[in-house]
A and B are shown apart, each in its own frame.
Chain A
Amino acid sequence: MNSITINGTVFEVRDDELELSMLTYLRERRFLTGTKNGCEKGLCGSCTIVMNDTAVRACKTPVKKAIGTSIVTIEGMEGPSGELHPIQKAFIDAGAIQCGFCTPGMVMSSYALLLREPKPSRDDIRKALRGNLCRCTGYQQIIDAVELAAQVIREQELSPKAGNVQSS
């Protein structure tokens, strides 16, 4: 059987779902609509998810390529009791949210960054988020947020791992 782990839960994938993009699969088969469709060409980053700890574009990732992997989406970032991940909290505290459409993708790209680099420079953050477009914020408070989240995780010695994954 083909299966994918999504936010800590294992899902069996039907054969007719293998050719779908992860974007369609997540939004329309798993009803995880937090992953956004902004361009469907891998150009805007709104559909960014984290697959085996790496940020990928859900719209350019066929389900068949995700078989056997562990996926984290925006819905999987909160802790078991609904507590916000430090990145999510930092986005709020830094005023990094406007229309919110890019926010899930931004959070997921930031998450992948902090998994591999606990102390990123502002330049590192800019590079890591280069593929995530935002038309509202000018990015500055988003970069502030990622910097803040990294600092909170370090100073409070928190696990950077997404909530549901950690608890499973």
Chain B
Amino acid sequence: MRSDTPFRNDAHAKVTGRATYADDVSFSGMLHAVPVYADYVSAKDLRIDTREALASPGCVRVITAADVPGAAMFGQIEKDYPIIASDRVRSWGDVCAIVVADTREAAKAAAALVRITATPLKPVLGIDEALAPGAPVVPSYGDSNIVTHHRLRHGDPEPLFAGCELVLEEEFQTQAIEHAYMEPEAAVCVPRADGVVEIYGSMQHPFSTRRFVAALLGEPLSNVEVYTISVGGGFGGKDDNAAAVCARAALAARLTGRPVKLRYDREWSFRETYKRHPYRLRYKVGVTSEGKILAVKATMHVDSGPYLSVTPWVTWRSTAQCFGPYVVDNIHADVYGVATNNIFSGAMRGFGSPQVNFAVEQIMDIAAHKLKIHPLGMRRINMVKQDSITVTGQRLSGHTVSLEDVMNRVVHEIGFRKKYELCSFGKSETEELYGIGLAVSYRGSSLGAEGMDFCSCIINGQYDGSILLETGIHENGQGSESAMTLILADELGTDLKRIRYRRSSTSAIPDSGTTVATRGTVMGGSAVVVAARQYRDLLSDHLADRLRCKPQDVTFHDDKIWGLNYEYSLTWEEAMRELFLQRITPYAFGTFQAPPVSWDDTTGQGDAYFTYVYSCQAVELAVDKKTGKVRLLNIVAGHDIGKAINRALLLGQMYGGMTQGIGMALMEDFVRDGGKTPCLNFDTYKIPRTTDLPPMTGIIIENHDPNSLTGAKGIGEPALELIAPAIANAIYNATGVRYTKLPIQIRPEDLA
């Protein structure tokens, strides 16, 4: 595959400023909408007085829940998220009204005049508070703050702890994290003359967006057409929340009969949108004197906030991967999603595994140090290998289980063994303490047993030999359109120039699920291959006569279509004309269904994922003895991603994922103070900058995966999920102090 020079179909548009994002779209007669929040964390008897706002210059309409023709509450799993709140406020981020005006300034001015009163209720702000007897029940449904509970029962750990050389009991905590995509949410909605409402939105799941819009409007899905335009990053964060933004704009467009733009200020984006789930993880781990892990009990409590969003799916992944890439024959895990009145939690790149890895990869090092075993040896004897049985009882076969090889490659590249001997462990002659640390992981590809997993592709050949390609995968900035184009060019043996990736709409291609879970390349790419095979068969059948051969002898390469022994060939222009004369439509529609997976809810056993990505990341750092400040020196990452489609973009995913993980490890903390937050922009919520980062090296390991028709798996999430524990381990090896809470903040007195 042509993967060596960077290819991006949107590179020219993006580097010249021509790429069109939602806020760059305008229509004649367009109105502007803004959300209105209430300064409550939990309240009832919501009353909204719109009179003053309506009298404000330029104000066209103030929309409240009373104006909603459909369902004001919606959600991907539970329909509990108030697109517009009515009566009850459960979060400081709840939107209580939408103000629509001639200009954005007028809308903001009017929004300040919307008077909201309510009866405050005592908010539930922490996991223990939520679980306490008699705690107010936060969710709108059910009678408990435990909104989801996944179990895993594999063997019986309890009797084994007594015979273990070492029994560790450790607690870890991870924080809420803001996605901090550079483009805040925005939506432009246009009511079309035929009754359809068009959506141009900054979102990563057009089909879910369509469901939110249709639900709020009380209209069929066919009335809503969501178009793909440039999206300025998502990382899981532009799923249901961004869909709600689109739905609000759509409602405003419906009610006013005019195009409406709803563009979010950064402050609204930070205040309202869901964050990475904060976790509290408790582990009891029994280890033999040789370092073999015999028994594990894991209990995790996860702050879901007031709305369920995708908490059951996030915590399912934490369950299925509850003890990292290690074989443990006796393990029980219980993972609870807990409702609070904090700003809610939802999908974010990594999706329930960065939190678990932060705990497990430190436990491996803690055990190794206590047993005086090398951390590499500790991992080596416990890690999954070919045909290992995972904690969910899945035999790892049908793909190459390369974790040990991946770790070896990273260890070799960074020189881990030698450098490990140089670690300070709290003592050094200089101002700084030096440490190196690593972490390994495996990650189930795509949704796994969490959901229905299939994806479509359309190949539409044109009369002049050009080809239109579209898939149900969404371009969020990661380069999926480019990957799909490369895959099709490879399958058809054509020049890249011949292929135009068509930005699809929800009315043009079947629902292909969401572009999350590192599923874009594996699912979308496989759908492209399915469609391309059909397309080649169609062309072969109808061109064989012209090529003086049998259909099975037709081949596609060097931008031509060839007969047997290269005697005859057709250009694509000639081939398309021939099909036209035969009245054959050069069109293919392909669907790829993920290979089977299985899950038993009562035992947490099953074939959780159809394949896994294997990863190792190692980091060198120095800690300033006086200030406790961490200086990252070097990072090496290795990932077995199956097959590289677009090497430069693949490396970009690695570097970007690691950088987000560095933010998680050392700086980012979406503070929740009484259910509110001071983190409303990049001054109070800091993400990594150029000067925070060391040189990074990415090692691409390719064991073509037979479960994926291209051989490729994916990289988006594996890149992020293990740098935080690698950093924590390196910090321990530098300072001799173990940090179990994120973000890691080293106080100088810790080093005294």
Give the distance in Å from the alpha carbon of A158 to the alpha carbon of B698 in the complex.
32
Q: Kindly list chain A residues whose C-beta atoms are within 8 Å of the C-beta of B688.
A: 138
Q: Kindly list chain B residues whose C-beta atoms are within 8 Å of the C-beta of A75.
A: 16-17
The answer to the question of B660 belonging to the interface, with a C-beta cut-off of 8 Å to chain A, is yes
Q: Kindly list chain A residues whose C-beta atoms are within 8 Å of the C-beta of B19.
A: 100
Give the distance in Å from the alpha carbon of A39 to the alpha carbon of B685 in the complex.
12
The answer to the question of B457 belonging to the interface, with a C-beta cut-off of 8 Å to chain A, is no
The answer to the question of B582 belonging to the interface, with a C-beta cut-off of 8 Å to chain A, is no
Query: Which residues of B, 1-35, contact A by the 8 Å Cβ criterion?
Result: 5-6, 8, 10-21, 23-24
Give the distance in Å from the alpha carbon of A140 to the alpha carbon of B635 in the complex.
12
**Contact: B23 with A37, CB < 8 Å?**
yes
- For B, the interface residue count at a CB cutoff of 8 angstroms equals 56
The answer to the question of A102 belonging to the interface, with a C-beta cut-off of 8 Å to chain B, is yes
The answer to the question of A53 belonging to the interface, with a C-beta cut-off of 8 Å to chain B, is no
Indicate with 1 or 0, residue by residue over B683-715, a CB within 8 angstroms of chain A CB atoms. Answer: 100011111010110000000000000000000
Query: Which residues of A, 82-112, contact B by the 8 Å Cβ criterion?
Result: 84, 88-89, 91-104, 107
The answer to the question of B321 belonging to the interface, with a C-beta cut-off of 8 Å to chain A, is no
**Contact: B23 with A34, CB < 8 Å?**
no
Stretch in contact with the other chain, from A8-16, A60-68, A122-130: A122-130
Partner of B266 from the list A39, A92, A107 (CB cut-off 8 Å) is A39
Main DSSP-derived SS at the B contact region: loop
**Contact: B182 with A138, CB < 8 Å?**
no
A135-B17 in contact given A92-B12, A94-B6, A101-B233 (Cβ < 8 Å): no
Indicate with 1 or 0, residue by residue over B273-307, a CB within 8 angstroms of chain A CB atoms. Answer: 00000000000000000000000000000000000
Stretch in contact with the other chain, from B472-480, B521-529, B538-546: B472-480
Smallest CB–CB gap between A110 and chain B, Å? Answer: 11
The answer to the question of B337 belonging to the interface, with a C-beta cut-off of 8 Å to chain A, is no
Indicate with 1 or 0, residue by residue over B236-252, a CB within 8 angstroms of chain A CB atoms. Answer: 00000000000000000
**Contact: B184 with A135, CB < 8 Å?**
no
Using CB atoms, name the residue of chain B closest to A122.
Answer: B695
Smallest CB–CB gap between B522 and chain A, Å? Answer: 19
A138-B658 in contact given A75-B16, A75-B17 (Cβ < 8 Å): yes
Q: Kindly list chain B residues whose C-beta atoms are within 8 Å of the C-beta of A132.
A: 690
Give the distance in Å from the alpha carbon of A95 to the alpha carbon of B654 in the complex.
12
Give the distance in Å from the alpha carbon of A92 to the alpha carbon of B652 in the complex.
12
Using CB atoms, name the residue of chain A closest to B265.
Answer: A40
Smallest CB–CB gap between B57 and chain A, Å? Answer: 16
Indicate with 1 or 0, residue by residue over A30-65, a CB within 8 angstroms of chain B CB atoms. Answer: 001111111111011010000000000000000000
The answer to the question of B674 belonging to the interface, with a C-beta cut-off of 8 Å to chain A, is no
Interface centre among B14, B15, B688, B695 (most CB of A within 10 A): B15
A44-B182 in contact given A92-B11, A98-B477, A135-B235 (Cβ < 8 Å): yes
Indicate with 1 or 0, residue by residue over A2-38, a CB within 8 angstroms of chain B CB atoms. Answer: 0000000000000000000000000100001111111
**Contact: B648 with A98, CB < 8 Å?**
no
Give the distance in Å from the alpha carbon of A63 to the alpha carbon of B445 in the complex.
50
B residues at A contact (CB < 8 Å)? 5-6, 8, 10-21, 23-24, 179-184, 230-233, 235, 265-266, 476-479, 648-649, 651-652, 654-660, 681-683, 687-691, 693, 695-696
- Nearest 10 interchain pairs by C-beta: A34-B17, A99-B477, A95-B648, A101-B232, A100-B14, A138-B655, A74-B17, A138-B659, A95-B6, A43-B682
14 A-B pairs with CB atoms under 8 Å apart are A37-B184, A93-B5, A95-B8, A98-B478, A99-B183, A100-B10, A101-B183, A101-B233, A131-B689, A132-B690, A134-B182, A137-B655, A138-B655, A142-B690
